Amino acid sequence: MLKISRLSDYAIVLLTALAGDPRDEPSAQRANARALAKRTGINMPTVGKLLKLLNGEGIVQSRQGRSGGYFLARPAAEITLAEIIEAIDGPIAMTDCFRPDHDCAMQGDCAVRPHWEAINRGVHALLDATTLAEMTQPVSTDTPATQVPVWYERARSGEVTDAGKRARKATS
C-alpha cells in the first residue's frame, strides 16, 4: 500500500497546529511540546521526537525561557509537504527503484520504470507544490491537490521535475 508514514503525517499535523493563521509572522505562533501534544492528541514522546527532527532540518526553531517554545523557522507558505516528508522519512520514492541506496539488476531492461518515474515525479511535484499554509485552510479548487490530473500529464511529458515549485508557478 502506498501511503505517507505515520510520523510524516503527525509532523504535518504538528506543523499545521504550530502554523496557526498563515498571515502571522513565523515566530508569532509559539508552543511548547506539551501544549502541542495536548492540542493535537499526539503523545509526548512522538511530539518530542518529531520536533527534534524538524528542528535539525531547519523547519522549526526553538527558544528557551519564559516566552520560549517551538515556532516555524520560515513562513508556512514557504514550507512544503515534500520538505516535511523528506525531513522525516528521507527521499520520496514510490518504489524501491527511486531510493538512493537501491541497486536493481533489472534497471537497464525494466519496461515499467519510466512509468513509475513519471508517477514519482508527479507525486513529488504535488507534495512540493503544497505548502503548510495551504494545509491550514479549507480545500479549494486552487489547491494543488485538486490539480492531480494536470500534474500527472505534466509529469508524463517531463515538464514537471523534482522542482515542483517551478511548475506550480507556471500554473499560477
- 100 and 164 belong to one structural domain: yes
Domain boundary among 72, 101, 118: 72
For residue 60, is pLDDT > 90?
yes
Structural domain of 109: 91-171
The CATH number that applies at residue 38 is: 1.10.10.10
Report DSSP letters for 63-106, one per residue. E-STT-EEEESS-GGG-BHHHHHHHHH-S--SSGGGSTT---TT
pLDDT of the residue at 172: 45
Tell me the whole-structure pTM to 2 decimals: 0.76
Mean of pLDDT values over 57-64: 95
Report the range of poorest mean pLDDT among 36-50, 80-94, 139-153, 158-172. Answer: 158-172
**Lowest-pLDDT choice from 3-12, 21-30, 58-67, 151-160:** 21-30
- Residue pLDDT, tens place only, 123-145: 888 899 899 998 998 877 666 66
Average pLDDT, the chain: 81
CA dihedral in degrees (139, 168, 59, 29; nearest 10)? Answer: -40
Residues 97 and 165 both lie in one domain: yes
Query: How large is the angle between the packed helices 81-89 and 44-56, nearest 10 degrees?
Result: 110
Residues 97, 164 share a domain: yes
26 and 55 assigned to the same domain? yes
- DSSP, residue by residue, the chain: -----HHHHHHHHHHHHHH-STTS-TTTS-B-HHHHHHHH---HHHHHHHHHHHHHTTSEEEE-STT-EEEESS-GGG-BHHHHHHHHH-S--SSGGGSTT---TTTTT-SSHHHHHHHHHHHHHHHHH-BHHHHTS---TTSGGGGHHHHHHHHHHT---S-HHHHHHHH-
132: CB partners within 8 A, 6+ apart: 12, 15, 16, 19, 22, 72, 76, 77, 79, 80, 81, 84
User: Are 66 and 131 members of one domain?
Assistant: no
Q: Where a domain ends, among 72, 104, 120? A: 72
Taking phi over 0 as left and psi of -120 to 50 as alpha, with beta for the rest, 158 belongs to left
